[in-house]
Amino acid sequence: MSMSFFERLRRRVEQVDSLLCVGLDPHLADLSAPNAESAKEFCLRLVDATQEIAAAYKPNSAFFEVFGSEGFAALKQVIASIPTSIPVILDAKRGDIASTAEAYAQAAFQGLNASAITLNPYLGRDAIEPFLVEPERGVFLLCKTSNPGAADLQDQLVIDQSHRSAYYLYEKVALLAQDLNRRDNLGLVVGATQPEALRRVRSLAPDLWILAPGVGVQGGDLQSAMQAGLRPDGMGLLIPVSRAISRATDPMEAAGDIRHEINQVRHQLRLARKSNVEGRPEIQTIEFNPIAEGLLNAGCIKFGQFTLKSGLISPIYIDLRQLVSFPELLHRVAAAYLPILKNLTFDRLAGLPYAALPIATAISLEGGWPFIYPRKEVKAYGTKAEIEGVFNVGEQVVIIDDLATTGGSKFESIEKLASAGLKVEDVVVLIDRQSGAGEALARAGYKLHSVTTLTDLLNYYEESGKVPAGQIKAARDFISSSA
């Protein structure tokens, strides 16, 4: 039985301890002469300098096709020069159907003997399946690219009426790839400049390999990309680098330095995950860090001395109503609720006034779920509605709030929703203050879910040095005495 493409790639990664994919992009400006022979020699020198540490090579067909039939012949010779143990990904971005797709596949896999190819998925599964026939030949689908115009189509919301949910178009591509990957030979292209998209794609396609261009000249941050896209086994992410190697004074040294940097991040992530397994909070995640820092910078979390409603003096104050003035942070916060909500069963969101209403609105826009909210004060005029929004008696709602402290406000809202004939099982908040809300709700038959906890936030601020240790200790002591 032949080895699948990704099994072959995995073995190569292990053999050279590298996730580095060397891009072979013979730009005209880099050539000694504007011809196919010069393009070939340019690539052969790179292969010779980097073949001991390259996990894969990615020649861009456009830089060869520009020279016509001579360029095609040069590309074939470059691929033939690469040791057979190293996978070759033809960056061609093909996209067509039927016999045309079959011809493209034959040209790439038989004509050029490429190991894999990049494809445009816009025409759907019948533009992809002709390339997946042989398990040993791989495909990387364009999913979320790094160019500025990517948002024109890739960020459009696609409504799934049957599941009462919504996805970005690029997320639907990830789900399609997950469905079509029956021979372990289908992966995705997600730009390293898009760490949030990488995180979302990884959550939807936990096992697929991702080709993540954009590190280096395009400005992608290696650590952010790897935190978002690397699988727990340290695999699943291939980092292509071209100009930072080809234009270096010493390409071999440059490639070695990049591999070393990649492996340093891999090692750090392994340690973080190991610490998490042993019971310490894992703070190094692409979702958590920007939110934790954003809440602090926006003044949603403050340290000092604050008089609470109860009259107590607290060394920490949380006010998530400030989120309305920080749209990017509000977007991140809303997106952080989605992984929890996608695992729950419900018909509508129920946002609690007042702090959670902007959050619930953002979640509704992000996930495509309708939402309602129970009023704090019943209207004395007009419809005199207790619940604002459209709903049907008997529907299931999930409560959205900003914080959970003791659970008191949640019970008041649950009672109003139940009086209107709605069912509640789950409550989802951004921050659990760990002051008994989870236990109180559980005793009443409800389940509390939180994006993070106050302990996690304090641990992050302490370990990252964002807040002085004395203020962290004061906050912990106050929480402990108030529990």
Cβ neighbour number for residue 180 with a 10 Å cutoff: 17
Give kind and range of the element (H or E) at residue 168: strand 165-168
Q: Which of 281, 300, 287 is nearest to 338 (CA)?
A: 287
Q: Quick check: 211 and 187 in contact, CB under 8 A? A: yes
Helix axes 469-482, 454-463, angle to 10 degrees: 160
Residue 305 is encoded by which pair of tokens? 């001395």
Residue 102 is encoded by which pair of tokens? 């079959």
Give kind and range of the element (H or E) at residue 403: strand 396-404
Active site residues: 93
Cβ neighbour number for residue 270 with a 10 Å cutoff: 14
Cα distance between residue 333 and residue 340, in whole Å: 12
Widest CA span in the chain: 83
Helix (H, G, I), strand (E, B) or coil at 401: strand
DSSP 321: G
Residue 472 is encoded by which pair of tokens? 């962290």
Q: Which of 133, 144, 93, 128 is nearest to 110 (CA)?
A: 133
Cα distance between residue 119 and residue 364, in whole Å: 32
